[in-house]
Amino acid sequence: MKTKFSKSWKSSKQRRKQRKYILNAPLNIKHKFLSAHLSKDLIKKYKKRSLPVRKGDKVKILRGQFKGKEGKIEKISTKKTRVFVSGIEIIKIDGTKTNYSIHPSNLLILELNLDDKIRKQILERK
């Protein structure tokens, strides 16, 4: 199988091809995979359903063992398509705490970090 990324690829029913597309995508396209839904208040305010997450956004976890907990985004791994939320840690067998990574599709954005000018422009377009 080719490992080179194809921009002309549209879609496939085959899960292996979908996985291949996600795995081999360049970072500028992987950034789009880091999107999470907005809360109902933010949807009404900005007339958008979802946005890519950013460091400093306040989020609520919707799935997994930390379901219902809230925190701010500390770190984002674009390469692995994962997000690290403050206060969300797992305790390892030896007693040390480590950050727990969460896929952004399992998050709900409650507050946006509007420090960036470009993000403000994107929200004010409509």
pLDDT at 8: 77
Domains belonging to the chain, first-starting first, are: 15-124 (2.30.30.30)
Q: What is the DSSP string of 35-83?
A: EEEEPHHHHHHH--SEEE--TT-EEEE-SSTTTT-EEEEEEEETTTTEE
Res. 1 pLDDT band, cuts 50 70 90: low
Q: What is the mean pLDDT of the chain?
A: 91
Q: What is the pTM of this model?
A: 0.86
pLDDT tens-digit map of 63-100: 999 999 999 999 999 999 999 999 999 999 999 999 99
